[in-house]
Amino acid sequence: MIESNVDGQAHWKSALMDNYGTPQLTLVRGEGALVWDADGKSYVDLVGGIATNALGQAHPAVVKAVSEQIAKFGHVSNLYVNPVAVELAEALVDVASLAGNAKVLFVNSGAEANEAALKISRLTGRTKIIAFDGAFHGRTMGALTLTGQPGKRDPFKPLVPGVTHLPFGDVDALKAAVDTETAAVIIEPILGEGGVIPAPDGFLQAARDITKDNGALLILDEVQTGIGRLGTWFAFQQAGIVPDVFTLAKGLGGGLPLGATIGVGAAADLMKPGHHGTTFGGNPVCCAAGLAVIKTIIKDDLLDHVSALGKDIAARAEQLPFVAGVRGAGLLIGIGLRKPVSATVAQAMQEAGYLVNPIQPDTIRLAPPLTLSAEQADGFLDALETTTKDL
């Protein structure tokens, strides 16, 4: 029984591998955007399980859906039709405005979704892949190869051959690199782990044109940007394009492990029986949670809420003297600092009762629940102003 934050750290060190280091806090419960640690202190959580807890903690709709489903059955495998997975797949292609022109493969995580997308690209008969510096697509071997962060890749070389990384947002470099041997171009619409850096205006449209002209697939990694995070269901809707493949996870399961690879048009039919599989992908309990997320976003008009609140947070944060600029969209926000002290700021904010993510030395990332209230956002901004004044 863990009885305090210090006790939690001791148990973590003795039982878990050291790949994450040892966290400071032991979180024991949550409600909405609030979480409590083992010492009884509450925090407004602006990390959101890293853009995962779309509806916050213990949302009644998710609790009800998961409880009802686990009482029916928890797992049946993909040897049988799972009605919950079918309903969720239909809901996803519907909110993407792609009904009748897209198909879904359910997996368990963003990395697995990108692995499946990579395999789809191989089924074109081509092997050349274009990815981008600073991007993060996961830590499994294929997804890691796509990831444009050498510090994460280098310890595990050799990786999958055939991947070239280009400067993010460079249209001329992309035009020069893509040819009739290119299988796919994979892009994060906003570099999440890279520091919340949006693709430059027009870049996604140019990528769509360049890939189409060369018969290559355009794959969008919407693991962080999808499911309402930006104030629209998907980033590609804001860009006014349709990719050949897009990948989802994080917010899709509302806190449960669920990912999806969605193929559009001809790309939806490249996978054939035996090409890919996953024991737990499309698990009915996780899919029930995903359905609850989508239905709640629609019922509570959360897309409009996310769009308006994100703009309010960005506008006010930009006025703070220690802030160098604000990037992102909706409730995926990067607050740039004038000095590389994000870890110091995050610690001070934690002491003030707010959890934020120091994603880069000079950047704090916010990815709170889509249900974050205006009052909670105001409290965060007041605390950020006080904290940065002290610096």
Binding site listing for pyridoxal 5'-phosphate: 110-111, 136, 221-224, 279
Amino acid at site 353: G
CA dist 260 → 85, 95, 110, 127, 135 (Å): 11, 14, 8, 22, 19
Q: Annotated binding site: which residue ranges?
A: 110-111, 136, 139, 221-224, 278-279
Q: Annotated binding site for N(2)-acetyl-L-ornithine: which residue ranges?
A: 139, 278
Beta strand 163-166 with 128-132 is: parallel
d(CA 224, CA 192): 7
Question: Within the chain, how many helices (H) and strands (E) appear?
Answer: 14, 17
Structure letter (DSSP) for residue 199: P
The first and second tokens of residue 282, run together, are 């499309």
**Residue closest to 333 by CA, chosen among 1, 7, 46:** 46
292 within 8 A of 61, measured Cβ to Cβ: yes
Q: 219 - beta bridge partners?
A: 186, 245
CA dist 181 → 124, 161, 216, 218, 243 (Å): 10, 14, 8, 14, 19
Question: How large is the greatest C-alpha to C-alpha distance in the chain, in angstroms?
Answer: 60
d(CA 362, CA 341): 6
10 Å CB burial of residue 280 (0-12, 13-18, 19+) is middle
d(CA 174, CA 205): 12
d(CA 194, CA 198): 10
